[in-house]
Each structure stands twice: as C-alpha cells, then as structure tokens.
Amino acid sequence: MMEDAARMKVEVIPLAGFDPEGEPHVWRMADGSLWVVFAFMPPSWADDAPERFDDFDQQLALAIGVPIEREDREFFRVPCPASDTVARVQAFLAAYPR
C-alpha cells in the first residue's frame, strides 16, 4: 500500500510550446520523482523525420543533467530530479528544433 501512495501524482505541470496537437506534462509524484509525459512521441509535427526521436531519452537526459528512464514511447521517468529539473525540461522542449 505504501508503494502505491509513493506513486501518486501530487502535481501536474503543463508544458506549452512543444506540440500544439497535444502538449506534454510533468507529473510530480509523492516519492519526489517526476514523469515527463507526452501525448505523442514523436510529436505530431515530426512526421517527416521520426527517427530524430529514437534517442530522445538520451537527448532529454543530457539537456536536464539527470538520468532518465524511458518507460514507454511517451513516458519518461526522472527518479532523482534536481531542483531545476522542471525548468530545464521546459527550456529544452521550448527550444527543440522543429
């Protein structure tokens, strides 16, 4: 039961400016971890070059400076985020080349 409580979302942070067809969110969990959740991965605007996103977990980890676990195509777990991780995710996605 305690494990379930640790996995509960305590905050949902919308991230605007990456994919107008379905913007991503950050879920802050009770255990302090974060999930970066996308509606589409690759994003809706990337039909011409979806392979750019094959290593998106590595790109995101490099940009935010903490390890990422890719759980599924649209779900990225940040087990031990830094205090600025959400801001760094937002900046990375806002500046991502289209």
Q: Would you state the pLDDT for residue 1?
A: 43
The H or E element that residue 95 is part of is: helix 85-95
Q: How many CB atoms lie within 10 A of CB 45?
A: 12
Q: How many CB atoms lie within 10 A of CB 1?
A: 5
Structure tokens at 21: 């067809």
CA dihedral 49, 52, 56, 59 (to 10 degrees): -140
pTM of the model: 0.91
pLDDT tens digits, one per residue of 74-93: 999 999 999 999 999 999 99
Say if residue 19 is exposed, middle or buried (CB neighbours under 10 Å; 0-12, 13-18, 19+).
buried
Q: Would you state the pLDDT for residue 7?
A: 75
pLDDT tens digits, one per residue of 6-59: 679 999 999 999 999 999 999 999 999 999 999 999 999 998 888 999 999 999
Q: Would you state the pLDDT for residue 2?
A: 47
How many Cα atoms within 13 Å fall on the side-chain side of residue 22? 11
In the chain, the number of structural domains is 1
